Amino acid sequence: MMKTPSGVGRAALIGAGPGDAELITLKGARLLGQADAVVYDNLVGPGILDLARPGAERVFVGKTAGRHSLPQEDICHLLVDKAREGKFVARLKGGDPFVFGRGGEELEALRAAGIDVEIVPGVTAALGAAASFGFPLTHRDHAQSCVFATGHLKDRRVDLDWTALARPGQTVVIYMGVAGLDAISARLQAAGMPGDTPAALIHRATWPSQRAYPGTLATLPEIAGKNQLRPPALIVIGGVAGLLRREGK
Ligand code: SAH
């Protein structure tokens, strides 16, 4: 691939945090304020784009009604092209760029094109949810470990190490699991996790519209159906989900 001459363009992968604009880091906000172009999607919370320069170009690459988000490959090309125009490109990503955010692919594409990339971590959705609804992910009475897993469907199936996830004394947080919730609930129970294990669905943590739906491993699918739950939402499973304060903050 063609090497970009040094001094031509650069990029930052910036974690925007889970939604609340005050949860972006100082570094993220500073770099966002310096960027010439900002590439963002649906998971970036309200007000965060206001931190960009008024004159900065804003490029939305997420889903709109009736249209899919831009394919990942096209997003990678776009970032490289903008940087090659000599711009400082901020790629704003919900939560943390490296937690199920495909930031790794964007980093590789930019690096392969010889573009300097800075990475700014962000508050991932699980941490935002725990803070907003007041349940410590590793409360010592309930969990000695905490696992983040993806519930994303591959060929209509969720493929995870169910035995490992079903272990006691663990908090399991599943990202992108709404569509696969029935399978997730059934497979964890089949792997030995009791159906009455506390669990919760958390929609848009830290956004003004945030909501938590507490239940149990066995009841979550029904709760999701009744409430017509749509992404983005997290599935939290384990004793700590029983500590959740439903009203949120
Ligand atoms: N990089 C992001 C995750 C991207 S994957 C992060 O670190 O948070 C997208 C998934 O993240 C969504 O399907 C949902 O499961 C979860 N998610 C992101 N923001 C969320 C929020 N505010 N509340 C609940 N879930 C969220």
Residue 41 lies in a domain: yes
- Asked if 135 and 173 sit in the same domain, the reply is yes
- Asked if 143 and 160 sit in the same domain, the reply is yes
Q: How many domains does the chain have?
A: 2
Phi, psi of 137 (to 5 degrees): -65, -30
- Asked if 132 and 190 sit in the same domain, the reply is yes
Of these residues, 63, 74, 161, 226, which one is catalytic?
Answer: 63
- Asked if 107 and 54 sit in the same domain, the reply is yes
Identify the residue with better confidence: 63 or 35: 35
| Distance, CA of 83 to CA of 10 (rounded, Å) | 6
196 is catalytic: no
CATH (domain of 88):
3.40.1010.10
Residue 89 lies in a domain: yes
- Asked if 102 and 139 sit in the same domain, the reply is no
Ligand 1 pocket test, candidate residues 100, 124, 153, most atoms within 8 A of CB = 100
- Asked if 22 and 104 sit in the same domain, the reply is yes
Residue 72 lies in a domain: yes
| Distance, CA of 235 to CA of 175 (rounded, Å) | 7
Where a domain ends, among 87, 120, 153?
A: 120
| Distance, CA of 225 to CA of 213 (rounded, Å) | 11
- Asked if 26 and 113 sit in the same domain, the reply is yes
- Asked if 94 and 181 sit in the same domain, the reply is no
63 is catalytic: yes
- Closest-CA residue to 225 (of 171, 181, 175): 181
- Token look-up 């490109």 returns 89
pLDDT value at position 247? 78
Mean pLDDT of the chain: 94
Would you call the peptide bond into 232 cis, given omega within 30 degrees of 0 as the criterion?
yes
What percent of the chain clears pLDDT 90, i.e. is strictly above it? Answer: 85
User: Binning pLDDT at 50, 70 and 90, where does residue 4 land?
Assistant: very low
The full DSSP string for 81-106 is: HHHHTT-EEEEEESB-TTSSS-HHHH
* CA angle 197–127–28, rounded 5-degree value: 165
What pLDDT digit, counting tens, does each position of 82-136 carry?
A: 999 999 999 999 999 999 988 899 999 999 999 999 999 999 999 999 999 999 9
pLDDT value at position 154? 80
Q: Tokens in use for 128?
A: 């935002």
Residue 5 lies in a domain: no
Residue 4 lies in a domain: no
- Asked if 48 and 89 sit in the same domain, the reply is yes
Where a domain ends, among 96, 120, 144?
A: 120
- Asked if 72 and 37 sit in the same domain, the reply is yes
Beta bridge partners of 11: 89, 117
Does the CA dihedral 141-192-176-110 come out positive or negative?
positive
Where a domain ends, among 73, 100, 120?
A: 120
CATH (domain of 149):
3.30.950.10
- Asked if 83 and 146 sit in the same domain, the reply is no
Domain span at 201: 125-243
Residue 248 lies in a domain: no
Ligand 1 pocket test, candidate residues 14, 24, 42, 43, most atoms within 8 A of CB = 43
72-84 and 103-112 are packed helices; what angle lies between their axes, rounded to 10 degrees?
40
Q: Tokens in use for 157?
A: 């199936």
| Distance, CA of 181 to CA of 204 (rounded, Å) | 17
